[in-house]
Chains A and B, each alone.
Chain A
Amino acid sequence: METTEIKLAAKDFVTDQEVRWCPGCGDYSILKQVQTVMPDLGLKQEEIVFISGIGCSSRFPYYMETFGMHSIHGRATAIASGLKASRPELSVWIVTGDGDSLSIGGNHFIHLLRRNFDVNVLLFNNEIYGLTKGQYSPASPEGTVTKSSPMGSVDHAFNPLALALGADSTFVARSMDRDPVHLRGLLKRAHEHKGTSLVEIYQNCNIFNDGAFEVFTEKATKKLNTLFVEQGKPLIFGENGDKGIKLDGFKPVIVNVADVSANDLWIHDETDRVKASILVRFFDSPKTENALPRPFGIFYQEDRFCYETSMNAQMADAIKTKGKGDLDALISGKNTWTI
């Protein structure tokens, strides 16, 4: 795409609407990072579209000075599919939450991923229903106590990224609201990826599920419990980067970096589907003993034909072989008679 003549700034993407999330909500940071990154993507403002469903995160389009639609619960993915199929040149961004995309919109979510439209999905995961005031979501861990689960939820939670890989997603990544630099980096990569880019963003709901991810986001615990993966680099984490991950067969094990040679560590390869499927399974509760650290970054990236590209190729083929459709020929058909 062409670059804009006048360089846009983050403020150009701010609307005149008052932002109405609760003070302290993680959504503020995500909005800021998205607005900050936008001018660097080489897009014209008018060719960007933000589409959302229902939920706290779904207010997002009102705050972005682009084209936007705040639709109905769970359907942003399907609306975006139709928009992208009909207007492949647009840059389409879907903003959704864990309830919106994994529960009521679960079906459209997996079908979007397998079809691989060239769109970006920002999945704000706060492991709770916020807008309806605090019920457990399909991402809430078993036992979560909420108003609708006073004795703890009995639902087994989704592992969103494992679900995405299962649906043959071509770009699977995770970031967090409290790490602006990392989030901005992933947003850029998501934009660059040709295909459906899924970015799960851990987002704190300070009202109904405060601190759900604090072990990953707070300084005191972050280093020991998180693993930031980078292409071609070994999987290292810990206070001083002293711990690493080694594959014992298909089983990931934590080792002391000092105890192994550098070649023994798992080297991250975004294109390796098998390794990605192990990586997304680093999903232990941090409270369990010897829990694997929670990975962040791009788990998997694959180049595969996008739906709209194949669709347009068929349209072009049809015109090439049959010629541009003639309405009179269509209406009259081959068998006519005259009275």
Chain B
Amino acid sequence: MASTTETKTGVVILFAGDSGDGIQLTGSQFSTSAALFGNDISTFPNYPAEIRAPIGTIAGVSGFQLHFGSVEVFTAGDACDVLVVMNAAALKANVKQLKPGGIIIANMEGFDAKNLKLAKYPTDINPLKDGSLDKFKVHEIDVTKITRLALADSGLGTKEMDRSKNMFILGYVFWMYNRSLDSTIEFLKEQFKKRPELIDANVKVLKAGFNYGDTVEAPMNRFEVKPAPLEKGTYRSIMGNQATAYGFVAASQKSGLPLFLGSYPITPATDILHELAKYKNYGVKTFQAEDEIAAITSSIGAAFGGSLSITTSSGPGIALKGEAIGLALMLELPLVIVNVQRGGPSTGLPTKTEQADLFQAMYGRNGESPVPIVAAYSPSNCFDGAFEASRIALEFMTPVFLLTDGYIANGSEPWKFPKSADLKDMKVSFAKNELKDGEKYLPYKRDEKLSRPWAIPGTKGLEHRIGGIEKENETGNISYDPENHEFMVKMRQAKVDKIAEHIPLQTIDQGNAKGKLLVLGWGSTYGSIKTAVREAIAQGHDVSHAHVMYLNPFPKNLGEMLKNFDQVLIPEINNGQLIKIIRDKYFVDAKGLNKIQGLPFSSEEIKNKIVSMLK
């Protein structure tokens, strides 16, 4: 039976299996290939907190969802069209995500008696056999057996042969979507440079998977997803944490300052440390500190010395850094604090996403301690977020928060990346000794931005002391004077407020500038809101979308923009945080849409809310 080809505008595939099955690699290889083909794409890995949870159990299921299309794609997709399951647990954990009529590709060996028991199916029940999957198209493949056959004369042991199983699946899915194997073959050559026998084996199995689709009488059509009409230009695929790291390297080069990262490993922020540790030849110093406090305080030390200093963490680590953030604020030294948010409170949901640390960034310190906040809204936007946070820190001599979250940090998308020549210059000049005879250096004398000079050790004649105790204006000497304290508190606030004059005005992402409903978002909800609003507008609804990247201070025109709409909806992956700040600041009766499940919004959820508010 010859297979036929059906054209689709968008497809969501979810690869799922044991965390040791190579699922993340399979997913990312398909993503690379789709991106190179010219599809728009968005991905979302979903993995367990345990590195090696018990094999075959639901707790150990690792997933990689990707959404690619011939139209623009803004999220990793809601329900999926194709579910690839390496074992029974992967099916059980994910089958509810599959659209009716969707395709299941099942690795038969993963449904033997042992795996069914581990997945806690009742005795003698096999979902592949009992008719419970009748509304889907199920394709069972004995992946293990065919893989071993393909490698029979490879000289590899059974265990090593079985490690290539994911390549068979990948080859098969490549066949389904009629994709080239080239980028994966290139990847395998690079990956196993030192073990050529593994290159051969993996390529062989990859091709076996592809050919399997061609040779067996596959009971399904092949699909075509044409390239997307993306803006012209040169693209690459980028993950959020990677983009954050690149943004800081770029800021370092553009400011002419060495980059110093003090960090302590924490999910889901650690990849920024991994990434930056590779770039020593870019003048990047990474210091894996003994704890979160040393991570930030070492960065403060480096900032005192004249580095572009950053520290990266997630909510629990940020809580530990609180006192030191206050110190940086009092010292008025530049520092970027990255919070890759995860589910909280306490240890919470380390590998799941949430936006619940906005209040922590805004208010989570003792005393009156305003800190500017920048929030990235997509994987590639993490680059701009890191770059902008650095710029603000350096221009205003202040600690700055950069908020991202697990969804965009680990998600990926095509990125029409900038050229370094097109990036804004942010050359920094340290204070020079221009004192006249007998004149004393004033470390807290401010410029028109209310920013103080940065006089680094080694500058003759500018020796001075700074500290966390309240200080006298200009001299920086310790002062307990009541009026001075009030003055300094207000000065530090005025300095942060002043930043509003140096950030872009808020724009409407889509829709009219005036109307019935504005959906106001921040952070990783961008893709879901954009998709939902696009669909709602297409259906004739009067709705607009604005996404705030600068959360403290807000862009100067934000309040005015809000007043141009009858209603404001603020969807957040938390229990309502931006909404409280907006209500407090602008007296706008905004409505919230909140989801706190460790998962991003589906665009459907947001669209339903839009429609119900416009009834």
Give me 5 A-to-B residue pairs in the complex whose CB atoms sit less than 8 angstroms apart, sorted by A's number: A15-B465, A62-B465, A75-B324, A85-B302, A331-B418
- CB distance A78 to B282 under 8 Å? no
> A80 with B235: in contact, given A46-B460, A67-B463 (CB under 8 Å)?
no
> A72 with B290: in contact, given A83-B304, A335-B183, A335-B237 (CB under 8 Å)?
no
Nearest-neighbor residue (CB-CB) of B421 within chain A:
A328
For window 320-337 of A, CB contacts with B under 8 Å fall at 321-325, 327-328, 330-333, 335-337
- CB distance A318 to B280 under 8 Å? yes
For window 252-294 of B, CB contacts with A under 8 Å fall at 253, 258, 260, 262, 279-283, 285, 287, 289-291, 293-294
- CB distance A70 to B466 under 8 Å? yes
B236 contacts chain A at the CB level, 8 A cutoff:
yes
B543 contacts chain A at the CB level, 8 A cutoff:
no
CA distance A328 to B305 in the complex (A): 27
CB distance from A328 to the nearest CB of B (A): 5
B477 contacts chain A at the CB level, 8 A cutoff:
yes
**Which of B4-12, B31-39, B131-139, B534-542 sits within the interface?**
B31-39
A314 contacts chain B at the CB level, 8 A cutoff:
yes
> A325 with B307: in contact, given A85-B260, A108-B294, A339-B231 (CB under 8 Å)?
no
Cβ-defined partner of B324 (8 Å) among A72, A81, A339:
A72
- CB distance B35 to A337 under 8 Å? yes
| Nearest 3 pairs of A and B residues by beta carbon | A82-B301, A82-B298, A70-B467
- CB distance A81 to B462 under 8 Å? no
- CB distance A78 to B294 under 8 Å? yes
For window 149-208 of B, CB contacts with A under 8 Å fall at 183
Q: Cβ of A323: which chain B residues have Cβ within 8 Å of it?
A: 281
Q: Cβ of B291: which chain A residues have Cβ within 8 Å of it?
A: 107
How many chain A residues touch B (CB < 8 A): the figure is 59
A75-B324, A107-B294, A321-B281 known; 5 other A-B pairs, CB under 8 Å? A79-B304, A85-B260, A87-B305, A89-B458, A111-B294
A69 contacts chain B at the CB level, 8 A cutoff:
yes
CB distance from A310 to the nearest CB of B (A): 12
Nearest-neighbor residue (CB-CB) of B258 within chain A:
A86
A65 contacts chain B at the CB level, 8 A cutoff:
yes
CA distance A279 to B328 in the complex (A): 41
Q: Cβ of B298: which chain A residues have Cβ within 8 Å of it?
A: 78-79, 81-82, 85
**Contact mask A213-248 → B, CB, 8 Å, 1/0?**
000000000000000000000000000000000000
Q: Cβ of A85: which chain B residues have Cβ within 8 Å of it?
A: 260, 285, 287, 298, 301-302
Taking Cβ atoms with an 8 Å cutoff, the residues of B that contact A are 32, 35-36, 38, 183, 227, 230-237, 246, 249-250, 253, 258, 260, 262, 279-283, 285, 287, 289-291, 293-294, 297-307, 309, 323-324, 326-327, 331, 383, 417-420, 440, 456-469, 477-478
Q: Cβ of B478: which chain A residues have Cβ within 8 Å of it?
A: 17, 62
- CB distance B285 to A87 under 8 Å? no
Cβ-defined partner of B297 (8 Å) among A82, A332, A335:
A82
Q: Cβ of A86: which chain B residues have Cβ within 8 Å of it?
A: 258, 260, 285, 301-302, 305-307, 309
> A79 with B300: in contact, given A318-B281, A337-B38 (CB under 8 Å)?
yes
- CB distance B234 to A72 under 8 Å? no
**Contact mask A29-50 → B, CB, 8 Å, 1/0?**
0000000000000001111110
- CB distance A79 to B463 under 8 Å? no
- CB distance A327 to B253 under 8 Å? yes
Q: Cβ of B302: which chain A residues have Cβ within 8 Å of it?
A: 82-83, 85-87
CA distance A72 to B296 in the complex (A): 12
CB distance from A311 to the nearest CB of B (A): 7
Cβ-defined partner of A325 (8 Å) among B281, B289, B293, B469:
B281
Nearest-neighbor residue (CB-CB) of B291 within chain A:
A107
CA distance A87 to B305 in the complex (A): 6
CA distance A336 to B234 in the complex (A): 7
- CB distance B249 to A315 under 8 Å? no
Of A48, A311, A335, A338, most B-chain CB atoms within 10 Å: A335
A271 contacts chain B at the CB level, 8 A cutoff:
no
For window 287-316 of A, CB contacts with B under 8 Å fall at 311, 314-315
Of B234, B236, B305, most A-chain CB atoms within 10 Å: B305
- CB distance B281 to A338 under 8 Å? no
> A71 with B417: in contact, given A46-B462, A339-B38 (CB under 8 Å)?
no
- CB distance B279 to A79 under 8 Å? no
Cβ-defined partner of B301 (8 Å) among A62, A81, A321, A327:
A81
Q: Cβ of B464: which chain A residues have Cβ within 8 Å of it?
A: 67-68
- CB distance A108 to B290 under 8 Å? yes
> A325 with B279: in contact, given A90-B458, A331-B420, A335-B237 (CB under 8 Å)?
yes
- CB distance A75 to B465 under 8 Å? no
CB distance from B197 to the nearest CB of A (A): 24
CB distance from B426 to the nearest CB of A (A): 13
> A82 with B468: in contact, given A17-B477, A72-B324, A339-B232 (CB under 8 Å)?
no
A61 contacts chain B at the CB level, 8 A cutoff:
yes
CA distance A71 to B469 in the complex (A): 8
Taking Cβ atoms with an 8 Å cutoff, the residues of A that contact B are 15-17, 44-49, 51, 61-62, 64-72, 75, 78-87, 89-90, 107-108, 111, 311, 314-315, 317-319, 321-325, 327-328, 330-333, 335-339
Nearest-neighbor residue (CB-CB) of A64 within chain B:
B465
Nearest-neighbor residue (CB-CB) of B305 within chain A:
A87
CA distance A27 to B441 in the complex (A): 27
CA distance A89 to B306 in the complex (A): 13
Nearest-neighbor residue (CB-CB) of A91 within chain B:
B457
Q: Cβ of B309: which chain A residues have Cβ within 8 Å of it?
A: 82, 86
Nearest-neighbor residue (CB-CB) of B250 within chain A:
A327
Nearest-neighbor residue (CB-CB) of A49 within chain B:
B457
CA distance A314 to B297 in the complex (A): 23
- CB distance A339 to B230 under 8 Å? yes
CB distance from B226 to the nearest CB of A (A): 13
Nearest-neighbor residue (CB-CB) of A62 within chain B:
B465
CB distance from B93 to the nearest CB of A (A): 31
Cβ-defined partner of B235 (8 Å) among A15, A62, A64, A338:
A338
> A78 with B297: in contact, given A85-B302, A324-B281 (CB under 8 Å)?
yes
CA distance A47 to B460 in the complex (A): 8
Q: Cβ of B237: which chain A residues have Cβ within 8 Å of it?
A: 335
CA distance A92 to B298 in the complex (A): 13
CA distance A164 to B546 in the complex (A): 57
> A72 with B285: in contact, given A331-B250, A339-B235 (CB under 8 Å)?
no
CA distance A100 to B30 in the complex (A): 54
Q: Cβ of B246: which chain A residues have Cβ within 8 Å of it?
A: 330-331
Q: Cβ of A321: which chain B residues have Cβ within 8 Å of it?
A: 281
Q: Cβ of B462: which chain A residues have Cβ within 8 Å of it?
A: 46
Nearest-neighbor residue (CB-CB) of B231 within chain A:
A339
> A337 with B235: in contact, given A71-B297, A79-B301, A86-B260 (CB under 8 Å)?
yes
Q: Cβ of A67: which chain B residues have Cβ within 8 Å of it?
A: 304, 457, 463-465
Q: Cβ of A68: which chain B residues have Cβ within 8 Å of it?
A: 463-466
Cβ-defined partner of B283 (8 Å) among A47, A90, A325:
A325
- CB distance B459 to A78 under 8 Å? no
- CB distance A46 to B418 under 8 Å? no
Q: Cβ of B331: which chain A residues have Cβ within 8 Å of it?
A: 69
CB distance from A33 to the nearest CB of B (A): 20
Q: Cβ of B300: which chain A residues have Cβ within 8 Å of it?
A: 71, 79, 82
Q: Cβ of B469: which chain A residues have Cβ within 8 Å of it?
A: 70
CB distance from B492 to the nearest CB of A (A): 17
Cβ-defined partner of A319 (8 Å) among B258, B281, B305:
B281
CB distance from A95 to the nearest CB of B (A): 12
Cβ-defined partner of A45 (8 Å) among B289, B463, B467:
B463
CB distance from B438 to the nearest CB of A (A): 12
- CB distance A327 to B281 under 8 Å? no
> A90 with B305: in contact, given A46-B460, A70-B465, A325-B282 (CB under 8 Å)?
yes
CA distance A61 to B461 in the complex (A): 16
CA distance A72 to B131 in the complex (A): 66
> A47 with B458: in contact, given A325-B279, A328-B419 (CB under 8 Å)?
yes
- CB distance B287 to A81 under 8 Å? yes
CA distance A332 to B35 in the complex (A): 14
- CB distance B262 to A327 under 8 Å? no
